[in-house]
Structure 1
């Protein structure tokens, strides 16, 4: 694990701050404490001895080598075309015509306390923490904030965002945002982390969840919030319905909910997606940090389950257990099992009850994204954002009803309650060639094939020793048992609507190859991986076989361990720690970063995935000091990005802010959504 000195900038001068040894990449220790409960300070919870990618039967390897030597390697599924080719990438040449959607001058790496956008583009803040959401909400006053006010205002640390058009032109839309976590030191003046007040705790409950806000496109290209019947806040006290095969299980029952079917709230919501039927899926991620007194649990089975989900320690960081016993694992042992799900909300119906879908499994969901197979079934992909954890796929049994009517939405949301949950196992095409340095194999690509291993379907478990309910509630343990491939923090996973392939951002894993941990393999080819990579999957959608390739192996282009889809590395923007994924209408991949380890601020990048410009990474914007870029939305004439935790650097606080973005002067930094548009009103990335 690398040890880095954090710093603050004062008028361009670098001021060293206290040594922080437990956080990954350039993320501050403050962010680690409040967002993921210092996950990098602890050993990864996956201590299973399941086989990893490099452990393949020698007879199979010999056959593959022989086939490759004759150029005859192919893998078919039921007569389908081969998946996962092994052709050597041709040297790239400058494109005669730049790829539509990426025709903009790249932004240079920088450390400015501002959102810096490509030349020729303008920007404006759409909505900030504390701005009114519900009509009649009070104006934000950070020195006199209350829980009642926060329940009607935009929440803290906005992450995933989506724009849902209310008309054909997109002049009016619904902006839906996750609010991942609260950073109390940066929210409250004079905050005492050892003795938070009850009001501060309740403000934090109200600052979690999601916001639905109507926004209107202005004549100058900007977006502005507007009053609407749709506007809504969802918080940690909003009732959710548990649905699917584990609903009502004894593993989900509590003293407040003896039926095991109703949960108050959602938390640590990271990424998400818009479904084809117009609802929003949102992933509950680092839920472990909110629960206290796990170390008081002595039952060995319960202890194993808690440890696998990283639920450890006595008092929690936020001390919520002092004000509601549901955050105390020793008193309410099943409450923790009611978080870590994919949730679904219907932004078109502000009176609807949000849902937690148990059929998609319980783990640290970065998010989930769905596509519709040719036969009408729904397929959902999701990554478990932890070092050495897994990639999952769910395939529904039922078929989708077309349209976005209320009737169609009710039917289609039920599809996520009945289907088969799988976990991925990867095999490479170049056994024996992966040495952990990032050196390309002889075939010129990191690539191979894979298998989706079924875990459970409805009430049937496919994992020996696990009931179906146990598979859904303790999905990580079930995936361990079937030998899934340990990955480098699989985060956002999204199908590309243009080429049909699936793209997964793997952010980093500095523990890859360290003592007692899995070594490098072709899907995770570097030890001490602090820059991450991007995986491209050619899936057969409803089947159990896929081909895969690494599109990007991120980092400094001058580093020989990096790879940019075969593109000329001297022409790309440096990129580190990919996190969220989006696509424009041309099929270009857009990536935000989290924890840039290249001494520049995080940002948003575009990269073509097809043709001679495949792998040509270009930076579109950077975010302010201490901030992370999240939740990109890319439309023909508009881009939005969530600027999360601005000013969150070590040594800073609400009393001593390290950033004054977005309001300037001496103001406190405020997480916000920013819109970017062409100054001339033209299309994004078109010359």
Structure 2
């Protein structure tokens, strides 16, 4: 997810290896297939080769064995066609826009009282750290609805449940100062431990018990389920890296107890009823007050730690965020964290077997023999895509609490070898990141044991030749056939064009997908293609890949940039959310505010469904089991100072949006 200028951008690659880039693979595959290499350099058959008609995207299947990057929990058998709503136009208004026949209301904005004793939102930033720990956090992101009857399963209650959501970071506006958290009159010189703690308490996760009555959703006040998890909450490191020397600190010589989770971006969920929150840009919280400046080692540089100062300034008053004073503290972040929302006093678990990267989200599937698979992208320009395959098998209704602690971690390598299926472009393979079984890693002194491989998963991916990607963000699994989709949001820094991507800067992004061999998520090989290349025909014509990319799939009516959030509903609709440029000018003319679109994977039609308020990101999606209520999040409205959403006045606030169909029907139908 993109953040403010004071924070190291995901657009700046830290991967300096010579590993092949995905665009180079695409170029070679394109040349092999004989596509035009002049002018457009593409064909609709390449960039719009969506899933086969036989994939059954409109079958309405509700296969609980396929997870969907959290978006995979909507449902219902859709009417024909799959996309039944009337597309909306762009908007630059400071409001939520939805199709005719739909309604949208804001819900649980930042600062909403959640826990007992929480003060009401003041609107001037004067709450202290203790108050923020009892209120809903800032900058909502990944989200999931757990039906109240969903312990050890998804449940079917669509009127009462636990809404669990991430709070990624604190918004800043100009000059590198906290503007909203401490109010518009905050001075950079006014900095102390309580302010750092307030910032920490604005991060993390909220568990919110909600119930619908008379058509309106409300918080169940006083519920034991209501909970705030912050950057100061006690957590446990589990799995192969737990206890290793690389995660031991002065405060925790055991290497097993961590305080807090930070930069919680996208999310996932499990079929046994737990929530997965993903630590993305954790690197932005670690700096140093050391007088000699940059003291980073190679691994810290590869993970993008700041050389000296950070915009959050925690390192100035909290020693553990000073990487010179505590060089291993940053190794305790960058994990997927499992939370049991139905057990309020449970300790969140950082599952080290899934590897330490800048996790965007976590999408699950089950193998043919019921092992759990978790896919995740590393959201940085030129970084990789990973999957974890558990050793143990999922047992419905059984004890799956340690299932994510043992298994194998793999990184993706996309090849230009001709796919067996004519509707796919190339082949790929999953490269095992295991110290004992991979000869390359076994010979590399940087990895004395498997714990080091997992702590330095990026470096392990470098070593085995993983394929560089254009900022892999959300991953989602088709609920019927198991095809896996990933948003590659953009890579504006890439300077070399090629036949498959004739623009020097991939400013609009694209969506790729792959199918595991044999349809089994445990497969070690796959076939891949590109589902859609975003573009802008308002600026570039049909003969330019920055416009329609050679197809009517992208038109002036549905143009977008920087696909980010992604999720399938049970019927097979693919929901696409954007976090890109909202200037509505230059290369982005006619694209309006950030938005959410919906795609039919079979016909490849894309329609705009929702547009957010000014200067926001649209992110996170989840449905009630009857698929008649959709929850999404609006993050950082007014990040440049030009929004008063959702209140219409005063400071802008991130918030959840509840979308329903006026006739009470299935969303999207």
If the length of structure 1 is used for normalisation, what is the TM-score? Answer: 0.81
Which aligned pairs between 1:505-654 and structure 2 lie closer than 5 A? Answer: 505-514=487-496, 520=498, 526-540=503-517, 541-557=521-537, 559=540, 560-561=544-545, 568-570=553-555, 573-596=558-581, 598-599=588-589, 600-610=592-602, 613=603, 615-635=604-624, 636-649=627-640, 652=641
| In structure 2, distance between residues paired with 1:199 and 1:490 | 36
Is 1:413 the counterpart of 2:394? The answer is: no
- Corresponding residue to 1:138 among 111, 119, 133: 119
Deviation at 1:685, TM superposition (A): 2.2
Secondary structure at the aligned position of 1:639 is classed as strand
Q: CA deviation at 1:569?
A: 4.1
Residue 401 of structure 1, CA deviation = 1.2
Alpha-carbon spacing, 1:294–1:188, altered in 2? closer, same or farther (3 Å): closer
Q: Distance in 2 between matches of 1:566 and 1:413?
A: 47
Out of 470, 477, 493, the residue aligned to residue 475 of structure 2 is 493
Tell me the number of residue pairs that the alignment of Structure 1 and Structure 2 aligns.
Answer: 596
Q: Residues 513 and 259 (structure 1 numbering): CA distance in 2 closer, same or farther, change over 3 Å?
A: same
Written as runs of structure 1 = structure 2, the 5 A alignment for 1:20-169 is 31-33=3-5, 36-40=7-11, 43-53=12-22, 99-143=80-124, 144-167=126-149, 168-169=156-157
Distance 1:565 1:89 in 2: 20
SS at match of 2:452: helix
- The answer as to whether partners of 2:50 and 2:601 remain within 8 angstroms in 1 is no
1:197 is aligned to 192
Distance 2:32 2:50 in 1: 14
Distance change in 2, residues 1:352/1:659 (3 Å): same
RMSD, aligned CA: 3.2
Q: Match for 1:669 among 652, 655, 658?
A: 652
2:249 is aligned to 254
Query: Is the 2:599–2:605 Cα contact (8 Å) retained in structure 1?
Result: yes
Query: Which residue number corresponds to residue 374 of structure 1?
Result: 368
Q: Measure how far apart 1:37 and its partner are.
A: 2.9
- Counterpart CA distance in 2 for 1:460 and 1:570 is 46
**CA displacement 1:605-660 (0-9 Å, x = unmatched):** 100112xx2x21111111111111010124521111101001111xx3xxxxx211
Q: Assess if the C-alpha contact under 8 Å between 1:185 and 1:193 holds in 2.
A: no
SS at match of 1:673: strand
Give me the whole-angstrom Cα distance separating, in 2, the residues matched to 1:520 and 1:492: 25
Q: Which has the higher contact order (CA 8 A, sep 6+)?
A: 2
Deviation at 1:199, TM superposition (A): 2.2
Quick one: distance in 2 between partners of 1:303 and 1:172? 49
In 2: Cα distance, 1:478 partner to 1:630 partner: 30
Q: Is the 8 A contact 2:315 2:322 kept in 1?
A: yes
CA distance 1:263–1:460, shift in 2 (3 Å): farther
Contact 1:176 1:210 in 2 (8 A): yes
Relative to structure 1, the CA distance from residue 87 to residue 203 in structure 2 (aligned partners, 3 Å threshold; closer, same or farther) is: closer
CA distance in 1, matches of 2:301, 2:351: 23
* Match among 383, 391, 395 for residue 397 of structure 1: 391
In the TM superposition, residue 293 of structure 1 has moved relative to its aligned partner by 2.1
State the distance in 2 between where 1:685 and 1:499 align.
Answer: 20
- The alpha carbon displacement at 1:51 in A equals 3.5
> What SS does the aligned partner of 1:330 have?
coil
Whether the 8 Å contact between 1:592 and 1:629 is mirrored in structure 2 is yes
Deviations 1:385-425 (A, max 9, x none): 0000000011111111112xxxx3xx423121111111011
CA 1:197–1:412 in 2, change beyond 3 Å: closer, same or farther? Answer: same
Q: Which piece of structure 1 moves more, 449-458 or 308-317?
A: 449-458
**Bigger mean CA deviation after superposition, 307-316 or 278-287:** 307-316
Partners of 1:513 and 1:85 in 2: CA distance? 24
Provide, for residues 95-124 of structure 1, a one-character-per-residue CA deviation record: whole Å limited to 9, x for no partner: 9x9745521111211110011111111111
Structure 2: 5+ residue stretches without partners = 35-46, 59-77, 150-155, 172-177, 583-587
Partner Cα separation in structure 2 for residue 313 and residue 194 of structure 1: 21
Is the CA contact 1:159–1:179 (under 8 Å) kept in the aligned structure 2?
yes
8 A Cα contact 2:536 2:556, kept in partner: no
Q: How has the CA–CA distance of structure 1 residues 624 and 679 changed in structure 2, closer, same or farther, with 3 Å as cutoff? A: same
Mark the runs of 5 or more structure 1 residues left unpaired by the alignment.
1-23, 67-83, 432-442, 653-657
User: Is the 8 Å Cα contact of residues 193 and 318 (structure 2) preserved in structure 1?
Assistant: no
Alignment correspondent of 2:44: none
1:413 match: secondary structure: coil
Counterpart CA distance in 1 for 2:506 and 2:207 is: 37
Distance 1:360 1:631, change over 3 A: same
Q: d(CA) in 2 for partners of 1:311 and 1:625?
A: 31
Aligned runs of 1:432-447 on 2, under 5 Å?
447=425
